[in-house]
Structure 1
Amino acid sequence: MTIEITADESGDAEFAKTVEAIVDEPAAKMGHPFDPLPLQLKAVDAGGGLAGGLTAHTVQGWLFVRLLGVAENQRGNGIGRKLLARAEDHAREKGLVGVYLDTFEFQAPRFYQGLGYTECGRLPAHRGAPQRIWFAKTFDAA
């Protein structure tokens, strides 16, 4: 059997959905469907401009924060903290275990630690690439 592997640089959403289905089908059969539910939060300033945003999705009982960004001229105003708090509220409302996310060593590890996130993994710095640090926050059962 001959298999050809090619790069698809088109960003074809249908292809991504097909691969997700290939991964999800056996997980669902084992009682652990992925069922990703998206979450997008916007922070808009008084003039209607985008001050920041958060994109996330649920996966296996957790909320995964894919991106959290605040416009440079808005940093230090608590927007990131408010976006993350709203995401945590959403996760609690959905009965999720907690939130996990990642950041690079030059970005915001202290920010997440200050909000109660615990480091749960690292990709080491290598050949000029910075460390990538994973954080998680679980919610109390109470």
Structure 2
Amino acid sequence: MTHDETARLTVGQRDPALTERLDSELTAFNDAATGGAERDAFSVAVREPDGELVGGLTAWTWGGCLGISLLWVREDARGAGWGSALLRAAEQEGARRGCDRAVVSSFTFQAPDFYRGHGYRETGRMLGLPGGHEDVHLFKRLAAEAG
């Protein structure tokens, strides 16, 4: 393969237009490879009566898989069960959307043991990221949604 001699390679700051184009191109490629498996994102939140955020979770579904992107609980509310409630709600929503499995990654200084305690099992690690820590990848089979 030869490169077009007029093209040029650049490195710079984050480029929102480039990000949007790459997302569009890769989505089209993935849709062709998977037959257009439906994908969607959703969130789960816990709020005080005044609207103050206690904790939240963001997730996605694609091709029968639930992916947990972010899960956070405010420091003064940790240990009260909100993380578990958020995770269970996401798993139930994933099952409702037809997912039979879930994935998440968590750095060793975050919460891999939390996920293990909820039935997730480790499938791999990225060593040394960030610094001397590790990125732990976890997987769980989801129960079919009760009708």
Q: What TM-score results when the alignment is normalised by the length of structure 1?
A: 0.86
Given that residues 24 and 34 in structure 1 are in contact (C-alpha distance below 8 angstroms), is that contact kept between their aligned partners in structure 2?
A: no
Cα distance in 2 for partners of 1:64, 1:126 equals 20
Structure 1 position 141, deviation (Å): 5.7
Deviation per CA, 1:76-117: give whole Å up to 9, x if none.
010000000000000100111221111111111111111000
Question: Residue 5 in 1 paired to residue 10 in 2?
Answer: yes
Alignment-mate amino acid for residue 22 of structure 1: E
Given that residues 52 and 80 in structure 1 are in contact (C-alpha distance below 8 angstroms), is that contact kept between their aligned partners in structure 2?
A: yes
When Rg is computed on C-alpha atoms for both structures, the one with the higher figure is 2
- Ranges of 4+ aligned residues in structure 1 off by more than 6 Å: none
Given that residues 129 and 135 in structure 2 are in contact (C-alpha distance below 8 angstroms), is that contact kept between their aligned partners in structure 1?
A: no
Query: Which residue matches 1:136?
Result: 139
Cα distance in 2 for partners of 1:20, 1:126 equals 24
Q: What TM-score results when the alignment is normalised by the length of structure 2?
A: 0.84
Given that residues 45 and 56 in structure 2 are in contact (C-alpha distance below 8 angstroms), is that contact kept between their aligned partners in structure 1?
A: yes
Alignment-mate amino acid for residue 64 of structure 1: G
Deviation per CA, 1:104-134: give whole Å up to 9, x if none.
1111111111100011110113683311101
* CA 1:99–1:72: 2 relative to 1, 3 Å: same
Q: Structure 1 unaligned segments of length 5 or more: list them.
A: none
Cα distance in 2 for partners of 1:127, 1:120 equals 19
Cα distance in 2 for partners of 1:88, 1:127 equals 28
Question: Residue 69 in 1 paired to residue 72 in 2?
Answer: yes
Question: Residue 79 in 1 paired to residue 88 in 2?
Answer: no
* CA 1:44–1:20: 2 relative to 1, 3 Å: same
Question: Residue 37 in 1 paired to residue 40 in 2?
Answer: yes
* CA 1:83–1:140: 2 relative to 1, 3 Å: closer
Alpha-carbon RMSD: 2.1
Cα distance in 2 for partners of 1:84, 1:126 equals 24
Give the 3-state SS of the residue equivalent to 1:27 in structure 2: helix
- Percent of residue pairs identical: 28
